[in-house]
Amino acid sequence: MQASIQPGRDAATQYVLRLADTCLILGQRVAEWCGHAPILEEDIALTNMSLDLIGQSRALLTHAGQISGLGHDEDQLAFLREERDYLNPTLVELPRGDFAFTVLRNAMVATFLKLMWQRLSASSDAELAAIAGKAVKEARYHQQHAADWVVRLGDGTEESARRLRDALAQLWRYTPEWFEDDAVDQAAAASGLGPRWSELQADWRADMDALLAAAQLSAPADSAYRSTGRRGVHSEHMGFILAEMQHLQRAYPGGVW
Amino acid sequence: MNQAAVVPTSGALAPVWQVLGTVLDPEVPALSVVDLGLVREVLAHEDGLEIVLTPTYSGCPATELIERNVLEAVAAAGFGPARVTLRRAPAWSTDWISAEGRQKLLDYGIAPPGPVDLNEGVPMHFVGRTPSGRRLACPRCGSAQTERLSAFGSTACKALYRCLSCREPFEHFKPI
């Protein structure tokens, strides 16, 4: 079986991996809708968004491999790390749920990524800035599309509104983690690599409040619960999604299409 | 240099650009990679040609195929050794599609993109808005009575519309 790799432990690599893994794992979750979306147009939309996310992740993983100086390529980083070395916030690894859960999570993450890419367009790291300059256009479109569905469901039938309310109650408690800085954020801010994630909180919240209001919803009360995916400590769901993503590369080392 | 590359009509590299102008985009075969503005630069080095391409969407599955087709076309035309490099910055924009490319899109039945509006979506509007307040003209009958059916189409770069006058569906190349 193919052995695991150890990614770079320096702050810059970890900062880029957090973002890369957010795109990678959400892209994988969204791709699960392929062939299962409620209507054909959404099947196409979700798979297109997944493609964008995986593409963004590929660029970031390649770059993370270069920053670390360890020579890992995108495939090694995507498929050969141990669970604790994936640094996405827990929210994106949660099972895909129903369509309401999916569109609400997509709206939350796309809103965050749009703001993040905007800031990273001015990164002191030219390659990261270039990746961001392209990705921001895609995230903007994803946000708009997902937000349209959130409003349509929230302001729709009793059933669609109930499902969206349930999704919001489940998802909201996983968002505070995004905005609690640590040494990785501090180092990125100090070097000009990118913002502390907490710097995006006010704008993210403003966009979310406007969206939730249009969908006849309001943000749930803050909870004391804190997820820890950004530090590599994941929910029980992470192992299963990684098993699905990794088994081919583990069983057939270096296998390509 | 956040604008389309200027295609040289004379000079040593003009024939290379001409050959690149015959390499069609695999997803939108009405247009060449030059029409789309994907070719940023052609450089002559001592050890061969360097063709600089800018990818369109991060996840565009055609990127690798385009690289291969470009190299094959240049090799077949006898220009000697060549390599492709990808340049991400500045990010590709539909504003780089040439006037000729836009006409080809229209003739092919795809409504070409309007100018990119960087403020679109700021502030956010929800459901029922017409993007940028513009009405797309139907590429078949020219009617402005059109509506969007789906925000995403057969490829990452397109959306699906229909014409309420001639009743035909059509694709729109999204401005980004």
Rounded distance, CA A99 to CA A212, Å? 17
A43 touches chain B (CB under 8 A): no
Query: What residues 147-176 of chain A have any CB closer than 8 A to a CB of chain B?
Result: 147-148, 151-152
User: How far is B54 from chain A, CA to nearest CA, in Å?
Assistant: 10
CA distances to A144, A239, B144 from B134, rounded to whole Å, are 17, 47, 9
What confidence score (pLDDT) does residue A130 get? 95
Residue B157 confidence (pLDDT): 86
C-beta atoms of A59 and B57 within 8 A: no
Share of chain A above pLDDT 90, in %: 97
d(CA B148, CA A189): 42
ipTM above 0.85, yes or no: no
Q: What is the Cβ-side half-sphere exposure of residue A214, based on CA atoms within 13 angstroms?
A: 18
Query: pLDDT (tens digit, 9 = 90+) per residue, A157-205?
Result: 999 999 999 999 999 999 999 999 999 999 999 999 999 999 999 999 9
Contacts of A160 in chain B (CB under 8 A): none
Count of pairs with CB atoms under 8 A, one residue in A, one in B: 88
Q: Are A105 and A171 in contact (CB under 8 A)?
A: yes
State the average pLDDT over residues A141-164: 95
Q: A93 at the B interface (CB within 8 A)?
A: no
Q: Is residue A124 within 8 angstroms of chain B, CB to CB?
A: no
Nearest to B25 by CA among B123, B92, B119: B92
pLDDT digits (tens, 9 = 90+) for B99-153: 999 999 999 999 999 888 765 555 555 555 445 456 789 999 999 999 988 888 8
Among residues of chain A, what percentage have pLDDT more than 70?
100
| H/E stretch holding B163 | strand B158-163
> Chain A residues with CB inside 8 Å of B57's CB?
51-52, 55, 134, 138
CA separation for the pair A112, A178 (Å, rounded): 9
Chain A residue numbers with beta carbons less than 8 Å from the beta carbon of B121 are 140, 143-144
Within the 209-248 window of chain A, which residues sit less than 8 Å (CB to CB) from chain B? 210-211, 214
DSSP symbol at A157? -
User: How far does the CA of residue B176 sit from the closest CA of chain A (Å)?
Assistant: 6
Give me the residue from B57, B120, B154 closest to A52, CB to CB: B57
pLDDT tens readout for residues B18-76: 999 999 999 889 999 999 999 999 999 999 999 999 988 888 888 889 999 999 999 99
Q: Does A39 score more than 60 pLDDT?
A: yes
